[in-house]
A and B are shown apart, each in its own frame.
Chain A
Amino acid sequence: MSDIKYILGSFGDPDEMMHGIEKLQENNISIYDVYTPMPIHGIEAKLGIKRSRIDIAAFCFGITGTCCAFALIYFCAVIDWRVNIGGKPSFALPDFIPIMFELTVLFCAFGMVLTYYASTHLFPGRAPRVMDLRATDDRFVIAVDAKDNVAHTVIDGLLKDAGALEVKYNERKYISYE
């Protein structure tokens, strides 16, 4: 038993998995993480995960884009080289708006998505950290750290009671490593 690192409860139904989380929590068993093939609404509240602050990052990137676009156009068209177009003013703000808008969206989208990739550790070629290969297909997997929670038979029972189709004992954290 001592080689076991993680206990996985593999469910076939998201509602049963949510029930499994409740069962474990009632028994003071800490949950390491949950892996699902689709987003499960309401699971963050149950696991006490804080709301994502990525929207704040998105706003900051967006406003940076607005400022950069304005600064670029203002420098080029007003300071560095004024083009005389029929004697009209060089500082033609309405004409600046389209590009300011586009760069706001561009900076916001790229900044936010790259922040997301960085904070979630997603990048091309990263070795997938998968505990159960079916967690991206049709299984909803609750992972429990076996070293912190020693009552393995209790966990096994709780998961099976909640409707787990299968309980796995993984000796390696991520089975996806070759």
Chain B
Amino acid sequence: MSGHNESILREPLITGDNITYAKITDDILMPVENKPNKAWWIGFTFASLGALLWVVAVSYTFWNGIGSWGLNKTVGWAWDITGFVWWVGIGHAGTLISAVLLLFRQNWRNSINRSAEAMTIFAVICAATYVVSHMGRPWLAYWVLPLPNQFGSLWVNFNSPLVWDMFAISTYFSVSLLFWYTGLLPDIATIRDRAVGTRRKIYSIFSFGWSGSVKTWQRFEAVSLILAGISTPLVLSVHTIVSMDFATSVIPGWHTTIFPPYFVAGAIFSGFAMVLTLLLVARKVLGLENYITMFHIESMNKIIILTGSIVGVAYLTEFFIAWYSGSEYESYAFVNRSTGPYWWAYWMMMTCNVISPQLLWFKKIRLSIKATWILSIVVNVGMWFERFVIIVTSLHRDYIPSSWAMFYPTWVDISVFVGSIGLFFTLFLLFLRVLPSIAIAEVKLLLKSASEQAKMKQIKEGHENKEYVAEYIESLEKFDSVKQEDYAKI
């Protein structure tokens, strides 16, 4: 932290000159303390219309039962579980950024963790609604809990991955919420101490009386570190258990041991893509270019290449094993996947998840905001198709050819999915308005060591190796928020 300098070779995490502690607070709280602009209102209108569609579609499902979906005797699980796994996957990046990157001391996480965690929570809410609505009789949702009952007591089946999943998702959601909220306390206190009147009273209630004393901070850091330590295996366990919903069944195409690592990699892949989709826009609209820099974007793109390649290797391994195992059902499932009636979905998945992320190897693409944003959406589309392919193509041609069928979504299927996206964006846009989208306290930690101005001071002091300085200045070229002319003089 303060007191010693960071290596000049590292890229700055905060750019711009004249950044002070007060300016960090002002910049980050700008959207919270001012009236929203036109872009926000337009986004919010569309998002809330989507959320309304979701309310209609889910209510329709509750009223009429899941017969209103396009399911049939052969394909008994389709868009509902696809949407569920997709959202849970997206919900993985937040905790990965806040927990795993904290353990690895990746300081660049400080500026993106808050909004990524918020995104996680909203994505898991979207996922949870699928769980409840696809139960058919949602008023009996409590049956998934091991509660004493009048059937004997007949307990839930603890051998079933669906029961594990209930424990995993609810633990994940509540622990993520706890982690996020505890981290928010100091920042809510910042808003509280700057506000007046009713606003102050409201933020005062939610700040839990945070004072920022030495002992509070000391315990806060201990709590954050331990929460990160327990959330790291938690985040891995959640998608592992989601994958077991499929892997422990005996359906060809699902019954594979590669599922847990492959699903976890896919989840991180799609989660980072969604973080980029949201933050590239938020950064521009909220004017946070100095805090979410090109370095952050490039780092996230690198994680996307890595996890995208892991997913690609998993696809190929799955295919190889289907052939190598000699199981005719297994190999048929895979041949059917790639060349059967759903070939287009399979190749959509392959293109979006395996081929297009490889474009990020090119520095020019990796550093282009437009290209990154488009690729992040392509990845999200691809990951939706991945789940669709795994689920529907494994089911639609079962053991009796006479019962082979196709799946056609109804308007309710489509509306629940489109509506859940609307719900997600509504929650995210509200979050941007009422809570700081960047962890203020954590970014302040970086100011004296990892900011551009601190490094500039280091260079001006003249004790740094000339070659290193040249390399550092070269690395600044990619930043769109750095004034190059400041470095021309040196």
B193 and A130 contacting across the interface, CB-CB below 8 Å: yes
Contact A126 B171, CB 8 Å, known A39-B217, A92-B159: no
What per-residue 1/0 map shows which CB atoms of B1-22 lie under 8 Å from chain A? 1110000000000000000111
Q: Is A58 an interface residue (CB 8 A)?
A: yes
Contact across chains for A55 and B226 when beta carbons are under 8 A apart? yes
Stretch at the interface among B56-64, B202-210, B261-269, B355-363: B202-210
Q: Is A47 interfacial (CB-CB < 8 Å)?
A: yes
Task: Pick the 8 closest A-B CB pairs, nearest first.
Answer: A126-B209, A138-B21, A76-B155, A138-B22, A122-B208, A98-B164, A39-B217, A38-B444
Given contacts A14-B2, A76-B155, A92-B159, A105 and B234 within 8 Å (CB-CB): yes
Let me know if B325 is at the binding interface, CB within 8 A: no
How many angstroms between the C-alpha atoms of A79 and B181 in the bound complex?
Answer: 40
A43 close to chain B: CB less than 8 A: yes
440-472 of chain B: CB within 8 A of chain A? 440-442, 444-445, 448
- Residue numbers of A with Cβ under 8 A of B are 12-15, 18, 33-44, 47, 49, 52, 54-55, 58, 62, 72-73, 76-77, 80-81, 83, 85, 92, 95-96, 98-99, 101-103, 105-106, 108-110, 112-113, 116-117, 119-130, 133-138, 176
Question: Which B residues contact A (CB, under 8 angstroms)?
Answer: 1-3, 20-22, 25, 146, 152-159, 161, 163-164, 167-168, 171, 174-175, 178-179, 182, 185-186, 189-190, 192-194, 204-223, 226-227, 230-231, 233-234, 237, 241, 244, 440-442, 444-445, 448
- Say yes or no: A128 contacts B171, CB within 8 Å: no
Q: Please name the residue on chain B nearest to A104 by beta carbon.
A: B230
24 contacts between A and B (CB under 8 A): A12-B20, A15-B448, A37-B440, A38-B442, A39-B218, A42-B1, A49-B215, A49-B218, A52-B218, A54-B223, A58-B230, A72-B146, A77-B155, A77-B159, A81-B152, A81-B155, A98-B161, A101-B237, A105-B231, A109-B179, A123-B209, A135-B212, A136-B212, A137-B22
A55 shortest CB reach to chain B, Å:
6
Which chain A residue has the least Cβ–Cβ distance from B185? A122
The CA-CA distance from A121 to B159 in the complex, in Å, is: 41
Taking the closest CB of chain A, its distance from the CB of B244, in whole angstroms, is 8
Rounded to whole angstroms, the CA-CA distance of A122 and B241 in the bound complex is 35
